Structure 1
Amino acid sequence: MSIRSIAVFMGSQFGVQSEFKTVATTLGAALADQKITLVYGGGRDGLMGVTARTAMAHGGQVIGVSPKNLAEDAISPAEITQLIAVDTMSERKQLLMSHADAFIVLPGGFGTLEELSQVISWARIGLHHKPLVLLDVNGFYDHLWAWMNDSVTNGFVDVADMQHVTLCYSVDAALAHIRQY
């Protein structure tokens, strides 16, 4: 599978650790340098904005997908390759998933968790067969990863379902995993 685009799910805020912004910047640059289009939620602030702007600054291609009710939070269309306005969050997620050949999840909040869950759920029922990486920055996803494994141990998730997500600790490891998928 040739990887031409990666959807990145991440926070619209920076979070409290400076490493979150550092990793988002590193990812934006790496995607551009490797000629991989960044597909993301279209936000102008936080990790979303810095990843998009970094990819563009490095000569990359960036597609943002933003619901019309969040238009005031969207990045300026002039700052990225393409900004797609949609009516609903469901439509946004559908487009993000259909425009991407793979997925990377950076630190974020409830929206990021929702996107992660949907990608896993859709893979589980066969709606896509695309790689998904949870990029753990300074242990941000340690508790979630433990919960996922506890869900297997306690019989709520089949062990085979864990194949749909991989935990990585660096941008290089995440991109290497996706290339080898």
Structure 2
Amino acid sequence: MTIKRLAIYCGALNGQGKDYLVQAEKVGEWLAAHQIELVYGGGRHGLMGAVARGTLANGGIVHSVLTQELYDRGVALAGVTDRQIMPNMDRRKEMMMQMADGMIALPGGLGTLEEISQAASWVTVGDNAKPVAIYNYHGFYDELKKQLVAMNQAGFLEDLYLNNIYFGNSMDDILEFMKGYQVPHHRTYDK
């Protein structure tokens, strides 16, 4: 699979300490170095702003996808390559998935969890044929991984879909997973 654009979901807050911000900026640098365009939620704050600034500062391309409401609140980052203004969060998420060749979650809160969960769940019903990965920086998503295994063991998440959500500690490993990604068949049910 060819990866030219990645949707990065991440926190609109800074997190504790500077580590998260520094790492988000490094992800942006990595994207630019690999000539992979960033598709993100358009904000200038938190990890979102850091990953976009890291991409732009290193000559990369940044696609901002923002809701009208958030744009009107003044959260938009200036200087992005292009900006799409969506009427609501549902359209924003759909547009980000449509524009990207794969989706990655960096550390974040409820919005990040919602976005990456939607991308992963849509694989099961056949509405997302693109790879989904979790950048598990400093074990941030260890508990989420345990919860997904618990869902699997309880019979609510098939092995096929559990194994198609990649947890990685480096962007290089995530990219390799995405390049070799095979789209699983959508879930079927007994009639």
Give me the TM-score of the superposition, normalised by structure 1: 0.94
Q: Describe the shift of the 1:113–1:20 C-alpha distance in structure 2 as closer, same or farther (beyond 3 A).
A: same
In structure 2, what is the Cα distance between the partners aligned to 1:161 and 1:42?
29
In structure 2, what is the Cα distance between the partners aligned to 1:17 and 1:179?
33
Q: Unaligned 5+ residue runs, structure 2?
A: 182-191
In structure 2, what is the Cα distance between the partners aligned to 1:89 and 1:36?
24
In angstroms, what is the RMSD of aligned CA positions?
1.3
In structure 2, what is the Cα distance between the partners aligned to 1:158 and 1:180?
20
In structure 2, what is the Cα distance between the partners aligned to 1:2 and 1:166?
17
In structure 1, what is the Cα distance between the partners aligned to 2:64 and 2:70?
12
Q: Which residue of 1 aligns with 2:129?
A: 129
Q: Which residue of 2 aligns with 1:96?
A: 96
Kept in 1: contact 2:12–2:45 (CA 8 A): yes
Q: Which residue of 2 aligns with 1:85?
A: 85
**3-state SS, counterpart of residue 50 of structure 2:** helix
Q: Segments of 4+ in structure 1 off by > 3 A?
A: none
**3-state SS, counterpart of residue 137 of structure 2:** coil
Q: Which residue of 2 aligns with 1:120?
A: 120
One-letter amino acid of the structure 1 residue matched with residue 61 of structure 2: Q
Deviates more, 1:132-141 or 1:163-172: 163-172
Q: Unaligned 5+ residue runs, structure 1?
A: none
**3-state SS, counterpart of residue 107 of structure 2:** coil
Kept in 1: contact 2:22–2:50 (CA 8 A): no
Q: Which residue of 1 aligns with 2:172?
A: 172
One-letter amino acid of the structure 1 residue matched with residue 52 of structure 2: A
Q: Which residue of 1 aligns with 2:145?
A: 145
Which one has the largest radius of gyration?
Answer: 2
Q: Which residue of 1 aligns with 2:75?
A: 74
Deviations 1:126-146 (A, max 9, x none): 112211110111111011110
Percent sequence identity over matched residues? Answer: 36
Kept in 2: contact 1:8–1:38 (CA 8 A): yes
**3-state SS, counterpart of residue 14 of structure 2:** coil
Q: Describe the shift of the 1:166–1:81 C-alpha distance in structure 2 as closer, same or farther (beyond 3 A).
A: same
Q: Which residue of 1 aligns with 2:11?
A: 11
Give me the TM-score of the superposition, normalised by structure 2: 0.90
CA drift of 1:17 comes to 4.0
Higher helix share: 1
In structure 1, what is the Cα distance between the partners aligned to 2:54 and 2:8?
13
Kept in 2: contact 1:8–1:40 (CA 8 A): yes
Kept in 1: contact 2:38–2:61 (CA 8 A): yes
Q: Which residue of 2 aligns with 1:51?
A: 51
In structure 1, what is the Cα distance between the partners aligned to 2:34 and 2:76?
23
Kept in 2: contact 1:19–1:137 (CA 8 A): no
In structure 2, what is the Cα distance between the partners aligned to 1:152 and 1:38?
32
